[in-house]
Amino acid sequence: MPHDHHDHDHPHDHDGLSPSGHPYRADNDAPLSYWQRMEIAVRELMIEKGHLTADQVAAQIDTMDARSPANGAAVVARAWVDPDFRARLLDDAGAASREMGFDIGPLHLIAVENTAQVHNLIVCTLCSCYPRNLLGLPPDWYKTREYRARAVREPRAVLREFGLDLPDSTTIRVHDSTADMRYIVLPARPSGTDGMTEAALAALVTRDSMVGTGLPRQP
């Protein structure tokens, strides 16, 4: 009971808890790991030798941080309103994303389409492969051993925990990103969205709906 005062009378620092009753997060002043030292050493050497600058490193981090699920949502909404674009997306999702102006680098992207009969789910059992160059950084749960192991073994149980209870008549297709491809789910367009603008449709597309752990919002 973090907020209880028990039998002592000073009003602060009970059991190492903050005034709001939560534990303080430990400072990260443990010794550097081998790979942390290696990263710092290589980065400093590259800068010293003039191969890149600290500004370029910071700019690359900014570029990655600027990528967000909104990019993928724009691609999905375009596919919902433009059948020719949808066909190009399913044929080569990387080329279709670049066509919309997204700088996704060398990403090899495959779009898998949800229909009335099929639901797709993306996982990387070997590590944490994710279409970062389009959607930005993956959510923490995507990288956990639990999600990675269970998504291939009991996808229906996993989806129920995400609030998605699919009927037995729906076929689930799980896609394990084991090698060079990355995946995005093209969710089915929600009903009741006729006449909505592309921008309004994009606002319905959640990150989870593009991983397959969710569905788009209803308008």
Partner 1 sequence: MPERVRVKAMMPPGHVRTPAYLRGKTGVIERALGPFPNPEQLAYGLPAPEQPLYRVRFTMSEVWGDAAERPSDTLDAEIYAHWLERL
For the chain, where are the E strands, in sequence order?
Answer: 109-113, 118-123, 171-176, 182-186
| Helix 69-81 vs helix 83-91: crossing angle, to nearest 10 | 130
Binders of partner 1 among 110-129, rule CB under 8 A? Answer: 125-126
Q: Is 46 in the site for partner 1 (CB under 8 A)?
A: no
Among 62, 84, 168, 194, binds partner 1 (CB under 8 A): 168
Among 18, 60, 178, 197, binds partner 1 (CB under 8 A): 178
* 20, 33, 129, 177: the active-site residue: 129
Token pair listed for 211: 């991983």
Total of chain residues touching partner 1, rule CB under 8 A: 21
Q: Is 157 in the site for partner 1 (CB under 8 A)?
A: yes
Among 17, 46, 70, 152, binds partner 1 (CB under 8 A): 152
Among 53, 60, 144, 171, binds partner 1 (CB under 8 A): 171
Q: Residues 147, 117: contact at Cβ < 8 Å?
A: no
**Side-chain-facing half-sphere of 16: CA atoms under 13 Å:** 4
CA distance 175 to 152: 8
Closest CA to 119 of 12, 209, 5, 50: 209
Stretch that binds partner 1, among 25-33, 69-77, 135-143, 150-158 (CB under 8 A): 150-158
The CB-of-160 to partner 1 minimum distance in angstroms stands at 10
Q: Residues 177, 120: contact at Cβ < 8 Å?
A: no
Q: Is 177 in the site for partner 1 (CB under 8 A)?
A: yes
Which residues are designated catalytic?
124, 127-129
Q: Would you tell me which residues interact with partner 1 (CB under 8 A)?
A: 108, 125-126, 152-157, 168, 171-181
